[in-house]
Amino acid sequence: MTRVVITGMGAVAPNGNGIQEFISNSFAGKVGIKAIKKFDAKPTGITVAGEIDDFDPNDVIGRKAARRMDLYSQYALQSAIEAMEMAEINEINTKPVDMGVIYGSGIGGLTTIQEQIIKMHDKGPRRVSPMFVPMSIANMAAGNISIHFNAQNICTSIVTACATGTNAIGEAFRQVKAGRAKVMIAGGSEASVNEIGIAGFAALTALSQATDPLKASLPFDKARQGFVLGEGGATLVLEELEHAQKRGANILGEIVGYGATSDAYHITSPDPTGAGAARAMELAIKEAGISPNEISYINAHGTATHANDEGESKAINQVFGSDSNVRVSSTKGMTGHLLGAAGAIEAVLTVAALQKGQLPLNIGCFNQDPKCSVNLVTAENSDASNARYAISNSFGFGGHNAVLAFKKWE
């Protein structure tokens, strides 16, 4: 049976632009949530977000190419370039027809959509840019990555709201495991910290109205009041083990399972019983060929909404038992919720946790909700030197549940 390993990772995140900075800051507990600077958000009632404030696409992508991409595509391509440089994949060691792309975004080019609608309203339809459609459509991150790296195998996109990044990596894992590709570039990106993005989620009463960035995203806390919108992207390079070993690649970790289910319950609310989420975890663990008690860590979806955190806690207890020692943390207290990119940046942190033998803390929980009775990661229990397996959960509007199971590379 084909084994699937990770040989490259890249990230652009609110608390770290670049893979090393992102990992280092996340394990140090650095919060990347800050006052919104891109526009005046006060009329929406929302004042903080996980903005990226040190990103210049010209540095990596180049000015000409960047001008033809929405910000979400820029985040995607920059993280993919970083991941591919780490993996050292090229056309000498990998045929273009053996390399594919599965990359997603929850919304796509929302900034471009907003700008062009305003332009049409103010100046008329003839002033709409010819680049409007190719910049805004949600498959274009995958397309741009494929073009940049001449990846000629499958190139497709996943759009499953906040489960997008995890589904994209999971489906890429399937391609390699089934022998359809030797290498897959996978992940998710999002750039929705703009007027319409904030206003839309604020209208759903889904966002935290806190003004203190350190007390805005409170996963599993009794006082949580909604998520903080974030932006960014992350990419994993997945590779057939034999192919990686043959070219002497540095292996970062292994994907051993993937579970995907649907709640079939509601367009925005998760099933309060947690049944669909629990089944996705069970499927990932079953494919890994292990039992739940072998999982040392869960990177939780943990959005800091009342419904998610309580439902996810129930699901975890259904799978692992209410007396389980499995440790749980949501890293959204540091990054905010990156929607379609969330599963990708959290996959990076889960792989890094197994590599480092250290778990990222559940930043933002000051008074744990008794309805969220899971074993949260703290400074006292973050040592994971003996951890071999971990899972990462992502759940999205529409009832999408996706879970990846990772194994430490030994």
Which residues have a catalytic role annotated?
Answer: 162, 301, 337
β-bridge partners, 190: 232
CA distance 141 to 396: 20
Closest of 289, 283, 279, 284 to residue 314, by C-alpha: 279
Nearest to 227 by CA among 206, 200, 199: 206
Q: E-assigned strands of 14-165? A: 16-17, 34-35, 48-49, 99-104, 155-156
Pairwise CA distance, residues 351 & 355, whole Å: 6
Token pair of 374, please? 């899971």
**SS3 of residue 233 by DSSP:** strand
Residue 330 CA to residue 328 CA, distance in Å, equals 7
Contact (CB, 8 A) for 408 and 387: yes
Strand partners for 375: 327
Q: What span, in angstroms and rounded, lies between the C-alpha atoms of 123 and 214?
A: 42
Contact 66, 58 (CB under 8 A): yes
Q: How far apart are CA 132 and CA 375, in angstroms?
A: 47
Question: Per the structure block, which two tokens stand in for 292?
Answer: 């739940």
Q: How many helices (H) and strands (E) does the chain have?
A: 14, 14
